[in-house]
Amino acid sequence: MFYKKNKQDYHSRIPGISQKTLVHGEKTLLAEFFLQKDAEVPLHSHPYEQTGYLISGHMVFTIEGEQFDALPGDSWCIASDVEHKVDVLEDTLVVEVFSPVRKDYLPGRK
């Protein structure tokens, strides 16, 4: 699978956060997220390992009660079933890999 950059196919499940699946295989899925200043990803957990890289912006993660200040160039890996949340301090661009593949993020699903 090959992805060519375009401005289509973004979805918003949480106010202020747009997500787009870039590519996926049998075991991993790569997604891009635009997070608007003051948006919040509420406390949650899921059965997917989540590895990410902050391209631009500023966020604060809370992972199992511990806070992490994330700036451009920072990265993370959140194990499956671990509670986490995010507070967005400025407009932010992130790419993340999920494993196994998140079926709810597959193209054609909203």
Phi, psi torsion values for 73, nearest 5 degrees:
95, -15
pLDDT tens track for 58-77: 999 999 999 999 999 999 99
Residue 5 belongs to some domain of the structure: no
Residue 10 belongs to some domain of the structure: no
Question: Over 80: is that where the pLDDT of 108 sits?
Answer: no
Domain count, the chain: 1
Question: Over 80: is that where the pLDDT of 19 sits?
Answer: yes
Residue 109 belongs to some domain of the structure: no
Please compute, for residue 7, the number of CA atoms within 13 A of its CA located in the half-sphere on the CB side: 0
Phi, psi torsion values for 91, nearest 5 degrees:
-50, 135
Mean of pLDDT values over 75-83 = 98
Where in the sequence is the domain holding 64, given as residue range(s)? Answer: 15-102
Residue 93 belongs to some domain of the structure: yes
Q: What is the CATH number of the domain that holds 81?
A: 2.60.120.10
What is residue 47's predicted lDDT score, i.e. its pLDDT? 97
Beta bridge partners of 39: none
Residue 89 belongs to some domain of the structure: yes
